[in-house]
Copies of this chain bind each other. A is one copy, B any other.
């Protein structure tokens, strides 16, 4: 079954941090610019060489990658596994929706900042550009499902479609979702409308 469902590339996002310019400078110094480690294919962003530690009370996750370029507001994307480890109640959110989210301390060697909010668990979503959206008959904000095959086959429901000029077709999952589907780093899904 499902042989005619369109293929969707899948990328698994590990925990990462988007910084505002202000927070970047507090952590790395005035006028600091992130160094590009590698470009991310499906969005107009890059994994930076720089990492930070995230601390909540006595719990710490070290070496969390920063993703650039800088944004209007600092946003930390964790998995539920991470949130439970840190002892934080982190809501499932869309990118940029930081209302009622917890904060944490971000640490770069001797420098640190205390966020009052900004930690989210990202709701799964598809990125695509307008041409891809047209070809697949997808609309901005539409909710679809994506099937993953294999030993841990499952169907992700409530996948929101986001259309952007510079994006490339991709289902973005976090590491819990990827692991639950038996998929590490990347793979292929099948669009179900």
A residues sitting closer than 8 Å to B (CB atoms) are 79-81, 84, 92, 123-124, 147, 151-158, 175-177, 179-182, 184
Contacts and interface: CB of A to CB of B under 8 A. Distances in A.
Given A92-B151, A157-B155, A180 B182 contact: no
> Nearest 3 A-B pairs (CB), nearest first?
A180-B180, A176-B179, A80-B179
A180 B157 CA distance: 11
A154 B153 contact: no
Nearest to A84: B184
Contact of A152 (B92, B147, B151, B184): B92
A127 B79 CA distance: 28
A55 to B, nearest CB: 19
B81 A176 contact: yes
A46 to B, nearest CB: 23
21 contacts: A80-B184, A81-B81, A81-B175, A84-B184, A92-B151, A123-B152, A147-B157, A151-B158, A153-B157, A153-B158, A154-B154, A154-B155, A155-B155, A155-B157, A176-B176, A176-B179, A176-B180, A177-B180, A179-B180, A180-B180, A180-B181
